[in-house]
Amino acid sequence: MVLKLLREVLKVGQATVPYPFVPVEVPPGFRGKPEYNPEQCIACASCTIACPPNALTMENDLEYGIRTWKIFYGRCIFCARCEEVCPTGAIRLGYDFELASFSRDDLIVQAEFELAACTECGAFFTSAKELEHVLSLLEQAGLASEDIRVRSAILRKCPECRRKIELARVKPHVHKAFRE
Amino acid sequence: MLLTDERPKLGMRYVEALRKQFGRSIQDESWQATDQVTITVDLNSLPVVVETLYYQYGGWLSVVAANDERSLNGEFAIYYVLSVEGNENAPEADKENCYMVIRSTIPPHSLEFPSVTPRVPAAIWYEREVRDMFGLKPIGLPDERRLVLPDDWPEGLFPLRKDTMDYGFRPAPVTEDENYEFIEVEGEGIVEIPLGPLHITSDEPGHFRLYVDGEHIVDADYRLFYVHRGMEKLAESRMNYDQVTFLADRICGICGYAHNVAYANSIERALGIQVPPRAHYIRTILLEVERLHSHLLNLGLACHFVGFDTGFMQLFRVREKAMKMAELLTGTRKTYGMNLIGGVRRDILKEQRTQTLQWLGELRKEVSDLVAILLETPYIVQRTQNIGRLEPKVTRDYSPVGPTMRGSGFNRDIRKIHPYCAYDRIPWNTIYKDGCDVLARTLIRAEEFFESLSITEQCLDTMPEGPILTEGFSYKPYSFALGYVEAPRGEDIHWSMLGDNQKIYRWRCRASSYNNWPSLRYMLRNNTISDAPLIVASIDPCYSCTERVTVVDVRKKDIKIIPYKELERYCIEKKDSPIK
């Protein structure tokens, strides 16, 4: 038995690889660290909602109209849910897994986006890029240009103002229905 | 909710038999699936109903979950889940396998319920945990020590109740000293040997106290739950359904995917979601890939504990292939994160399939060579034969699971008894032996490894086409069901109740090792202390899994403190006993 074992061991030779002195190969589909493309991002917060460990966060500054997207790689579990739910492909998992660092700040990536102000009352209510994205989707869907104009005007208002305008619009009809 | 399924309800005969025997004590019956029924019984008949199902109808206690239902119906509820398989003396045609859940409600003012443990010893840890986490009082429980909560946890603070605390809350410690009472063993020359909680070899904390007479172990007591992470509370607090699948992956470092599938299955059953067949096959393949690496790890550890370190190294070298297979199929070596409610996230492509089949063939050749070498060594057989015996009677009383139980002659594998995923669509065999000792358990794992290779190959060959994820279903609050899986260590079972607002109301995840630990004490008796690490390793304990945590205490009397490393060295070298 000893001879058989010895033969096995000798046949194997060296079983270890000299990493970190040589790069390690990872298979395709390997889940490394998420790579972010702020140009594509519309700050819709889908990734933030889907992220299980809350590595992705979104903060709104309603005074200056700024939305800050932030990822903290220390919490990331490399699950790729953010990649799955992103509507524009702005975040994708790459192949990088060597994230060790002496400073916590190395693990934080931030991006700032403008918030859109309501055309009626001026309050900030949504991400500007998200709003433009939705409007361009309506155009792509092939709606008539009058339709788009009407919807555009509504979408550029905050939900409070939309409600007020809609109420004002139906008020005469409601009064009429009561009187009849 | 698979009531539109034309299959007959499995277990109807047991329900009818219970109704005939207990009459009006059986208050209600509701079916969650064709093989899962929940029967509500009157609180006072609870112990006798559970005992009847356990011993007369071939039931095995799977899990006991308590639930704070005060916001739903004003009371606490306790669920005893039994896997009922028919009396072993009954003819085959009369046997049906099903899960029966005996439910009882407990009034919130008294919090008392009659303990089932005096009749069914398997319920001991469950009732202790229910006592710690909910404050429910089992009357007649023989062992009233704390199981989960540490000694410095305040009295009266019950973590899993809905109104007591937030999941991130850390109470100030109330006492400096450990005051857990270990059992007392009397006798001439009995010495207590404490091991742990931080032993270098075992990598995971657990404090064992062995009562030895000379070199022979007379009894043992142990305390675990040092790494309780409060996952159940976390899942209820801030996670939605899809996020909990990722949390479930991290219950264990070895059988994580099994927990993931069990959880996903429990939600899918509760909602009656039909998972596409291709997703079932993919889940089966990944479950078996996990089993491969887990069994190789245990075989390697078994070699290590008997002193055969070369075998340990070679088995771990071979295990790397199983890890690479996982990395190819899922993108990472462990914590696959491949499930969502309704299916899987990633498909298996042609190149991955070809590469996996090639590696499976290589694994088969290499491992069979290594196992042959192992078994030809008389030293190894001698060190594991008749060591750590788990008698069939103890097995039947304590409901251990997996190879631990199959080593004592019981042919029970959840994949055959309650089929899930694709296990009922491909032919394969369960492995069981009646040696009752460490050798039998280790051999079962070795043979299961080859069975897994065969199952994976068949799945890769016969996978059907189609979608891999079912989307667009709606959640029904307060529906509940069981999800179960045969993890490498045994039956993993999750009981989930869905809640409002996209969150889970209650998630009880019982890992396989939880059922194995109570019977460890009986396995350790009448063995020498040099074999203790080997016996503990033979149940393949997964402390992280078990913990949602347990602990054993030892009372300090005349104790000789021996570092665990010493004991392990003694196990390996068998000379220079540390207690001389």
- A74: number of Cβ within 10 Å: 13
CB atoms within 10 A of CB B91: 8
Per-residue b or e along B363-376, where b marks 16 or more CB atoms closer than 10 Å to that residue's CB? beebbebbbebbee
Instruction: With CB atoms and an 8 Å threshold, state whether A52 touches B377.
Output: no
Rg of chain B over Cα atoms, rounded to whole angstroms, equals 23
Domain-embedded: residue B6: no
B370–A8 C-beta distance less than 8 A: yes
Q: Determine contact, residues B310/A5, Cβ cutoff 8 Å.
A: yes
Domain-located, residue A16: no
> Taking residues B229-252, what's their average pLDDT?
89
pLDDT recorded at residue A92: 95
CA atoms within 13 A on the CB side of B478: 6
Q: Which of B237-251, B285-299, B489-503, B562-576 has the lowest mean pLDDT?
A: B562-576
Tens of pLDDT, residues B137-175: 999 998 888 888 888 888 888 988 988 888 778 887 777
Q: What is the pLDDT confidence band of residue A108, given thresholds at 50, 70 and 90?
A: very high
Numbers of helices and strands, H then E, in chain A: 6, 6
Percent of chain B with pLDDT over 70: 89
Q: Is A50 in the B-facing interface, judged by CB distances under 8 Å?
A: yes
CA distance B39 to B20: 14
Residues B89 and B72: their CA atoms lie apart, in Å, by 42
Q: Which two tokens stand for residue B328?
A: 């190819």
The per-residue pLDDT for range B36-50, each reduced to its tens digit, is: 999 999 999 999 999
Measure CA of the first residue to CA of the last residue in chain A; give whole Å: 102
Q: What DSSP assignment string belongs to B271-312? A: HT----HHHHHHHHHHHHHHHHHHHHHHHHHHHHHTT-HHHH
Tokens standing for residue B352? 């991955």
In a domain, B160, yes or no: no
Task: Report yes or no on B181 lying in a domain.
Answer: no
Contact status, residue B336 vs residue B257, Cβ threshold 8 Å: yes
On whether both B443 and B548 belong to a single domain, the answer is no
Residues B523 and B498 in one domain: no
Q: Which domain holds residue A163?
A: 27-179
Contacts of B241 in chain A (CB under 8 A): none
Of the pLDDT bands very low, low, confident and very high (cuts 50, 70, 90), residue A2 is confident
Q: What is the mean pLDDT of residues B109-138?
A: 91
Nearest CA distance, B366 vs chain A (angstrom): 9
Tokens of B16: 């009818």
Phi and psi dihedrals of B26, rounded to 5? -85, 110
**pLDDT the model gives residue B199:** 60
Does residue B444 register a pLDDT over 80?
Answer: yes
Whether residue A5 and residue B331 make contact (CB cut-off 8 A), yes or no, is: no
Q: Which two tokens stand for residue B258?
A: 């099994």
Q: Can you give the pLDDT at residue B517?
A: 87
Residue B374 has pLDDT above 90, yes or no: no
Give the pair of three-digit tokens for residue A17: 């690889």
Residues of A whose CB is below 8 A from B370 = 8
Residues B468 and B561 in one domain: no
pLDDT computed for residue B41 by the predictor: 93
> With bands split at pLDDT 50, 70 and 90, how would you rate the model's confidence at B571?
low
Identity of the residue in B250, B331, B370 whose CB atom sits nearest the CB atom of A29: B331
- Asked whether residue B371 is assigned to any structural domain, the reply reads yes
pLDDT for residue B300 is more than 70: yes
CB B158 within 8 A of CB B135: yes
| Per-residue pLDDT at B229 exceeds 90 | no
Our CA-based measurement puts residue A60 at a distance from the nearest CA of chain B, in whole angstroms, of 21
Q: Is residue A8 part of a domain?
A: no
Task: Indicate if B254 and B206 belong to the same structural domain.
Answer: no
User: What's the whole-number average pLDDT of chain B?
Assistant: 85
* Average pLDDT over every residue of B238-243: 88
Alpha carbons B424 and B415: distance in angstroms, whole number: 8
Interface predicted TM-score (ipTM): 0.88
- Give the CATH number of the domain where residue B21 resides: 3.30.460.80
pLDDT for B196: 65
* Residue B16 burial (10 A CB sphere; 0-12, 13-18, 19+): exposed
Q: How far apart are CA B219 and CA B185, in angstroms?
A: 7
A21 belongs to a structural domain = no
What is the overall mean pLDDT for chain A?
A: 91
Q: Quick check: A167 contacting B, CB < 8 Å?
A: no
Task: Reply yes or no on whether the pLDDT at B2 is more than 80.
Answer: no
In this structure, is residue A38 part of a structural domain? yes
**Residue whose C-alpha is closest to residue B37's, from B53, B23, B48:** B53
Same domain? For B461 and B530 the reply is: no
Tell me the per-residue pLDDT of B65-85, one tens digit each, with 9 for 90 and over. Answer: 999 999 899 999 999 999 998
- Give the pLDDT mean for B272-298: 94
Would an 8 Å CB–CB cutoff place A17 in contact with chain B?
no
Does B554 have pLDDT greater than 70?
A: no
- The CATH number for A140's domain is 3.30.70.20
In angstroms, the CA B513 to CA B547 distance is 9
Chain B positions in Cβ-Cβ contact with residue A93 (cut-off 8 Å):
331
Residues B483 and B526 in one domain: no
Residue where one domain finishes, among candidates B139, B154, B172: B139
The predicted pLDDT at position B564 comes to 55
Same domain assignment for residues B500 and B483: yes
> Which residue from A5, A26, A78 is facing B373, i.e. has the nearest CB?
A5
Decide if pLDDT at B212 tops 70: yes
User: What is the three-class DSSP state of B358?
Assistant: helix
Among the residue ranges B63-67, B236-240, B258-262, the one predicted with the least confidence is B236-240
Please tell me whether residues B306 and B441 are part of one structural domain: yes
Per-residue tokens: B530: 């040099």
Q: Which of B108, B139, B170 lies at the terminal end of a domain, its last residue?
A: B139
Residues B322, B463 share a domain: yes
Given this model, what pLDDT does residue B198 score? Answer: 64
In contact, A97 and A33? CB cutoff 8 Å? yes
Does B545 score more than 70 pLDDT? no
Instruction: Kindly state whether residue B237 falls inside one of the protein's structural domains.
Output: yes
Domain total in chain B: 3
Residue B176 resides in a domain: no
**Hey, of A1, A10, A11, A46, which one would you mutate to test binding to chain B, going by the most B CBs within 10 A of its CB?**
A1
Q: Is the pLDDT of residue B335 over 80?
A: yes
Comparing CA positions, the residue from B217, B172, B168, B170 lying closest to residue B192 is B217
Among B242, B310, B377, the residue with its CB nearest the CB of A9 is B310
Identify from A17, A26, A31, A54 which residue to disrupt to test chain B contact, counting B C-beta atoms within 10 A and taking the largest count. A31
Phi–psi pair at B72, nearest 5 degrees: -95, -50
Looking at the structure, do residues B196 and B277 belong to the same domain, yes or no?
A: no
Local confidence band at B23 (pLDDT 50, 70, 90 cut-offs): confident
- Which positions in chain B touch A4 (Cβ < 8 Å)? 369, 373
Beta bridge partners of B153: none
- pLDDT given at position A11: 84
Residue B269's pLDDT band (cuts 50, 70, 90) = very high
Q: Two tokens at B187?
A: 């006798």
Q: Does A97 touch chain B (CB under 8 A)?
A: no
Q: Could you tell me the residue range of the domain that residue B80 belongs to?
A: 12-139
Residues B503 and B543 in one domain: no
Determine the pLDDT at residue A125: 92
CATH of the domain at B311: 1.10.645.10
* Nearest chain B residue to A5, by CA: B373
DSSP per-residue letters across B303-323: HHHTT-HHHHHHHHHHHHHHH
Q: B98-106 and B36-41: which strand pairing?
A: parallel
Residues of B in contact with A34 (CB under 8 A): none
A8 → closest Cβ in B242, B314, B346: B314
Domain count across chain A? 1
Q: Which has more pLDDT, B358 or B572?
A: B358
Residues A142-156 pLDDT 10s: 888 898 999 999 999
B369 in contact with chain A, both atoms CB, cutoff 8 A: yes
Q: How large is the average pLDDT for residues A80-92?
A: 94
Is the CB of residue A15 less than 8 Å away from at least one CB of chain B? yes
Whether residues B417 and B564 fall in one domain: no
* Interior/surface letters B151-170, b for 16+ CB within 10 angstroms, e for the rest: eebeeeebbbbeeeeeeeee
Cβ-based contacts of B352 with chain A (< 8 Å): 29
According to DSSP, residue B91 is labeled -
A122-134 pLDDT, tens digit per residue, is 999 999 999 999 9
Please tell me which of the candidates B331, B332, B369 has its beta carbon nearest to residue A8: B369
Q: How far is B66 from chain A (nearest CA, A)?
A: 26
* CB pairs A-B closer than 8 Å: 53
What are the strands of the beta sheet with B190-195, ordered from one edge? B190-195, B207-213, B216-223
Say which DSSP state A107 is in. Answer: G
Is residue B507 over pLDDT 90?
yes
Is residue B20 packed enough to be buried (19+ CB in 10 Å), middle (13-18) or exposed (0-12)? exposed
- R_g of chain A, CA atoms, integer Å: 27
Q: Check whether A77 has a pLDDT greater than 90.
A: yes
